Chains A and B, each alone.
Chain A
Amino acid sequence: VTTAALERAYRDERALVLSTITRRLGGDIALAEDVVQDAFVAAAVEWDRRGVPDRPGAWLTTTAWRKALDRIRRDRVAAAHAPDLVQDVSYDLEDDFERSSVEDDQLRMQFMCCHPALPAEARMALTLRSVAGLTVPEIARAFLASERAMEQRLVRARRKITGAAIPFRVPPDELLTERLGGVLRVVYLAYTEGHVATRGEQPVRGDLCDEAIRLARLLARLMPDEAETLGLLALLLLTDARRAARLRPDGSFVGLDEQDRTLWDAARIAEGTRVLERAFALRRPGPYVIQAAIAALHAQAPAWEATDWPQIAALYAELERHDPSPVVTINRAVAVGFADGADAGLAILDALESDARLDRYQPLHAARAELRRRAGDEPGAEAAYAEALALTSNPAERAALERRRRG
């Protein structure tokens, strides 16, 4: 009984307890991490002896807090920095462990973990550990890193947070847009890392996708007035609705044009569409809202041929204005290729030709191959397919390209 209760608490409540303790410690996540670990060790003994408490999260919070005070009293250097904490011994944390404030603390934790002063990979690892509550072995698997290396990366990142005094808070208004962008980006990248695994043989890692959606839901619930937060959730739901249709049994990718649309998750599409409508109502569409709108148009189309290409091309043009990148331009070219003919699409790709950095950019060659084939330029298509294949290392993507090349 105790083992099951401990495992459940570790999975469901650890991140919440950690957030509460981190706030109480003024943002010292390194110390918070240590004492939360100590609290779980104590629970293994105490719960066995006296039974599982009614509210395990509250018990763990109180215990972790006592451990923190013990450590602070022992550590004279820290005590000199935090005299106010030591006076606060009688504080009752169980009252503090209410759902609403716990969620606020998770949001603060999310912003702290995604602070731009931290290295990009550490931001995602910290978010998965401290907000999503994944274990170190799980995160190590997600990054295909060793557990030791991942633990070290997390320890270094926590030391930086504590050492540089990265604040535990939701940033004030003047910083919010920029910092929220960083938070959303980490969640988005966690999803795409699961969705199109760049590392390893496994083409899709559903566990990462699920965690990213859970984080996006949390953000959407806590920041319901931010259009981009809702936009990200809508985008992830609408993209994820296609998960079952994206892979063949042999692991190769199925393009949107070839997917069996009856495999799409209707409930996810409905939810994603509702969230997107709420985002639109806020009238501040940013890149995530626009991408979600594109995904929604695909989701609504009964067949690839029946897709609203002019509308999608217009949305990509809008996206290009917000957030110009070769990926967006290539997608616009493909959409224009369907809306106005393959030659119009190729003309857009030609404009990218001048950018030498894109010579080795696989999606450009793949898009050019498809458009040339549809324009009737078979030798040109063949050459572009060969270039795209030479630049692809993911086995599933290679298989998909080979299939298209054969037509």
Chain B
Amino acid sequence: MQYLIMLHFPPGKGPQEGTPEYDAEMERWGRLNDEMRKAGVMVAASGLDPDAVTTVRNHAGEVAVTDGPYAETKEILFSFYVIDVPDLDAAIEWAAKMPSAEYGSNEVRPTVGYEQA
């Protein structure tokens, strides 16, 4: 079973870049990523640039391109993981280990799996 975990955080929360807390958190992410790779659950993961988002629509044959995310929210989507684990409890366990869960929100979504690459 594959799950997409979307990591959001409210601007201003969590450690700020350039502080020792930030470096400490980065080390935790690194260790977690190693742990996930070792456990064989990591399918894909990446950080996302929240300031360079583009939304594309092709309704009625007309491509419309707009700046920014499709829905305005205060929280910033800054990273994602795709993991392969047996069930939701396992997905929750990994999501809870991610440092940003301590100040942000990790949304866990099962993939439906019609088109597995």
**Residues of A near any B CB (own CB < 8 A):** 27, 77, 81, 115, 117, 163-167, 171, 175
Report A-chain residues with C-beta under 8 Å of the C-beta of B110.
Answer: 163-165
Please, could you name 11 A-B residue pairs with CB atoms under 8 Å apart, sorted by A?
A27-B87, A77-B114, A115-B88, A163-B110, A164-B110, A165-B1, A165-B87, A165-B110, A166-B87, A167-B89, A175-B89
B1 cross-chain contacts in A, Cβ below 8 A: 165
B residues near A171, Cβ cutoff 8 Å: 89
| Known pairs A115-B88, A163-B110, A167-B87 / 14 extra A-B pairs, C-beta < 8 Å | A117-B88, A163-B112, A164-B110, A165-B1, A165-B86, A165-B87, A165-B88, A165-B110, A166-B87, A166-B88, A167-B86, A167-B88, A167-B89, A175-B89
Name the distance in Å between B68's Cβ and chain A's nearest Cβ: 29
Is B12's CB within 8 Å of the partner chain A?
no
Q: Chain B 62-90, CB within 8 Å of chain A: the 1/0 string?
A: 00000000000000000000000011110
B36-58: which have CB < 8 Å to A?
none
**For the complex, what is the distance from the CA of A166 to the CA of B86, rounded to whole Å?**
10
B11, CB-defined interface residue at 8 Å:
no
Asked whether any CB of chain A lies closer than 8 Å to the CB of B113, the reply is yes
Using a Cβ–Cβ cut-off of 8 Å, how many residues does chain B contribute to the interface with A? Answer: 11
Pair A164/B88 contact, Cβ less than 8 Å: yes
Are B87 and A81 touching (Cβ within 8 A)?
Answer: no
**A318 CB to nearest B CB, Å:** 30
Mostly, the A contact residues are: loop
A77 and B89 alpha carbons, distance in the complex (Å): 24
Q: Which residues of A contact B89 (CB under 8 A)?
A: 166-167, 171, 175
| Interchain CA distance A167-B90 in the complex, whole Å | 9
Q: How distant is the Cα of A160 from the Cα of B1 in the complex, in angstroms?
A: 14
In the bound complex, residues from chain B placing their C-beta under 8 Å from that of A27 are 87
Q: Which residues of chain A come closer than 8 Å to B108, judged between CB atoms?
A: 164
Please give the distance in Å from A174's CB to the nearest CB on chain B: 9
Interface centre among B110, B112, B114 (most CB of A within 10 A): B110
Contacts of B92 on A, CB cut-off 8 Å? 117
In the bound assembly, the distance between CA atoms of A393 and B110 in angstroms comes to 42
Task: Provide the bound-state CA to CA distance between A171 and B88, in Å.
Answer: 12
Complex CA–CA separation, A167 to B89 (angstroms): 7
Q: In the complex, what distance in Å separates the CA atom of A40 from the CA atom of B20?
A: 64
Contacts of A163 in B (CB 8 A): 110, 112
With a CB–CB cut-off of 8 A, which chain A residues contact B88? 115, 117, 164-167
Query: In the assembled complex, how far is the CB of residue A23 from the closest CB belonging to chain B, in whole angstroms?
Result: 14
Q: How far is the CA of A318 from the CA of B80 in the complex (A)?
A: 44
Give every chain B residue within 8 A of A165 (Cβ-Cβ).
1, 86-88, 110
Contacts of B86 in A (CB 8 A): 165, 167
Give the residue name and chain of the A residue nearest to B85 (CB). Answer: A165
User: Which of A81, A117, A164, A166 is most buried by chain B, counting CB atoms within 10 A of its CB?
Assistant: A164
Write out the residue numbers on chain A whose beta carbons fall within 8 Å of the beta carbon of B113.
81
| Those 8 A-B pairs whose CB atoms lie nearest each other, nearest first | A167-B87, A165-B87, A165-B1, A164-B88, A164-B110, A166-B88, A165-B88, A167-B89
Assembled-state Cα–Cα distance A264/B116 (Å): 63
Shortest Cβ distance from B9 into chain A, in angstroms? 21
